[in-house]
Amino acid sequence: MIASVLIANRGEIARRIIRTARELGVRTIAVYSEADAEAPFVMEADVAILIGPAPARESYLVPEKILTAARQTGAEAIHPGYGFLSENADFAQAVIDAGLVWIGPPPSAIRAMGLKDAAKKVMIAAGVPTTPGYLGEDQSVERLAAEAGKIGFPVLIKAVAGGGGKGMRKVDKAEDFAAMLASCQREASASFGDDRVLLEKYVTRPRHIEVQVFGDTHGNVVHLFERDCSLQRRHQKVIEEAPAPGMDEATRAAVCGAAVKAAQAVGYVGAGTVEFIADASEGLRADRIWFMEMNTRLQVEHPVTEMVTGQDLVEWQLLVASGEPLPLAQEEITLDGWAMEARLYAENPATGFLPSTGPLTHFRLPEGDVRVDSAVEEGGEVTPFYDPMIAKLIAHGVDREDAAARLAEACRLVEVWPVKTNAAFLAKCAGHPDFVEGAVDTGFIEARLEELTDRAFTDAPTLAAIGQRLEAFMEADQPRADVWASAPSRLLGFRMNAPRAAMDLPMSVDGKAVPLRVALAGGSGDDWSWDITVEDGRPLDDVDLLPSTFGSDPLYVFEGGDVREFDFAPKVGAAHVAASDGAILSPMPGKIVSVAVEAGQTVTKGQTLLTLEAMKMEHALAAPFDGVVAELSAVAGGQVSEGVVLAKLEPVA
C-alpha cells in the first residue's frame, strides 16, 4: 500500500480523501492557498504546505508548485481529486516522470478522452454509439454556424476540453448562434485554456445517464452500475441518484457494457465515469442512449455509487495505484437500495443563483441518517476564488421514494447565515411530486423554476416568528393606572370618541418592505386581543410567545432550508434600490469579461448589459426595465468589488 499521498485539491474532496487514507494508515499531505490557510482540510491533513496566493491559477493550477511540495514533504503519490489538474495529461505525466505514483488513469487515456471531439472518434471506432454533431477542425464562426444549420436547431455548443457544465451553451435559433458561440469560447478559454468547440444535436427530452467504471493494472475493467444526473440547471448537476429510475435490466446491461467497452478501448486504469445522453421521450431504451464524454477522474457524485454498492471508491483508487487488482469481480458487485446526492451551493436562488460569499456565522448541517461531505465549517468563510459548492448531502433508502424523502428532509434542516444557499431549492426539488414519481429530464428545473424558487410565507414557523414579535410588543409593559403613561401598545389605534383603528406597522422581509396590519379585535381593561395580518391578508394565529422586543435587532428565521430576515425597523437593501433606481451593481467580486452596451444606448428589460466572471462562471447582468444607459463605468477586463455601480439606467420617457 502507498505510504503517503499528497492531495492536489481542496475542500470537501480533500477531506474525503483524507478520511479514507487515515483509515488505511496512509499519511496525508495537503497543499493550500492563502485563502484556504484555515480551511478544515488543511487542519485535518497530517502535513500541510502553502503553495501560493488565493487565485487558483497562481496556486492549485501550477504543476511546478505541487511537485515541489511533494518533494519537500516526501510524498510517495499524488491524488488530484476532481477539477483543477485532475484531467491534465501533462501534469499526470510530470508526476510519473518525477518518480511519484499518479492516482489516476494513464496520461494516454486522459488524452484520448480529454477532448470531446477526439473521444467521440475513439468511441465510434470502438463501436460505442455517439450523438450526431460536428467534430471538425475548422473553428471559424462561418463554418460552425453552417454546421449548426445542417444539424438543425436547437443545437448544443460544447467546449472540446470542457466539463462541469462550463463552456456549454444551448442555442435555439440561428440569429443567437454567434453571440452564444463567443460566450462559450470565452468561458472555455478561461476555464480550460482551450476555446475550441464541437456541436451536438440537442435532444429535446434528454436524460443524463453515467456509468462508474474502474480498471486496474492487471487488465481488469468493471462497472459499478449507473447513476442518473438528469436534474440539472444550466448543464450543472443538482441532484444525482443511483440507480437510474426506469432502467430495466436489458438496458442496464447494454449501457454498462458500452461503458466497459469504452474504458477498455483506451486502456483505462483507476476510477472513471462514462457519460451518456438518453432520449427519454419513450422511456429508457438501449437504442436511444449515446456516448457523450468520459470523465477521467473521480466524480463529485461518487458517494451515491458508494452507498448502493457498499464500496469505498477512494480505497479502490489507492489499492489500484499500489498495483493491487480490483477488490471485486463484476459478478460480486451488487446493488442495494437507492441513493441520492444534493449539491449544496453558496448561491442565492432569489437572485438568479448568483454565488454568495462571506463569513459562515451560523452553519448547521443535518445529522443522523444522511451522509454529509462538507468543505467548510461554522466560523469559516466562503470566498469568491473557487467553486461555490460547500457541501454534499447524500441519503440512502430502501427504494427511490424513501431516498427522496430522506434527502428532502435533510435539505430542509440546513441552516446557514449570512451566506445564502440553495438548500430550500434542493428540498423543493427532491420533494416535488413529479421528481418523486421519476418524471425527470434535464429540463425539469427550468420548466418549474418559479415554483422551485418561490419564497412565499408558506410554513407556520415563519408566520409564528412574526407573530411572536408583535405579540411581545403588544404585551411589552404592565398596564398602569394612568392610561396616558401606559405602554404605547395600550393606545394602539386610539382615537378620541371613536373606535380604535387598525395600524400599519413597519416591517421588511429580506430588505423588502412588507405590509403588516394590526387591528384591535376586542376585549376590555387589560384583556385586549389583536388581529394581525401580513402581506396578502393571511392571519397569524396560535402563536407561541417568546420574550422579544418589537423594533430590536432583525429576527432570523430558518424555514425549510431557507433563512428569512424580518426587520421591524426596515431598511431597504441595495438589491432593492438597484431594481428601482436603475443602478446595476456588481453582485460579487469578479472580472468584467464583456460590455455589450454603450452610454446613451436604449435597452429593453432583460437585455444583457455586461458579463461578469466570478467563481469560475460567467454571470450576465441584465436591464431591470426598458431604459437608456445614463452611466457606464464597467470596462472589459477590469476587476470589480462587490456592490460597485457598474452602470445606471434611466427609464424611457
Closest CA to 404 of 434, 375, 374: 434
DSSP secondary structure, 37-90, as one string = TT-HHHHHSSEEEEEE-SSGGGTTT-HHHHHHHHHHHT-SEEE--SSTTTT-HH
CA distance 154 to 573: 39
Task: Find the Cα–Cα–Cα–Cα dihedral 351, 356, 361, 364, rounded to 10°.
Answer: 80
CA distance 471 to 463: 12
Kindly name the residue from 297, 343, 400, 490 that is annotated as catalytic. Answer: 297
CA distance 95 to 220: 24
Q: Which residues on neighbouring strands pair with residue 159, listed in sequence order?
A: 197
Residue with cell 408558506: 458
> Environment class of residue 478 by beta-carbon count within 10 Å: exposed (0-12), middle (13-18) or buried (19+)?
exposed
Q: Which three cell numbers stand for residue 17?
A: 480523501
297 is catalytic: yes
Compute how many other C-beta atoms are within 10 angstroms of the C-beta atom of residue 63.
16
CA distance 429 to 404: 9
Query: Percent helix, strand, coil in the chain (nearest 5)?
Result: 30, 30, 40
Amino acid at 327: P
User: Alpha carbon of 409 to those of 19, 100, 414, 559, 587: distances in Å?
Assistant: 26, 44, 9, 12, 30
DSSP secondary structure, 387-455, as one string = --EEEEEEEEESSHHHHHHHHHHHHHT-EEESS--SHHHHHHHHH-HHHHTT---TTHHHHTHHHHH--
Q: Pairing state of beta strands 538-539 and 555-559?
A: unpaired
Q: Which three cell numbers stand for residue 554?
A: 432583525
CA distance 75 to 67: 9
Check the CA dihedral 19-21-25-29 and report its sign: negative
Contacts of 374 (CB under 8 A, 6+ apart): 12, 15, 40, 365, 390, 391, 392
Closest CA to 578 of 483, 497, 480, 645: 645
Active site residues: 297
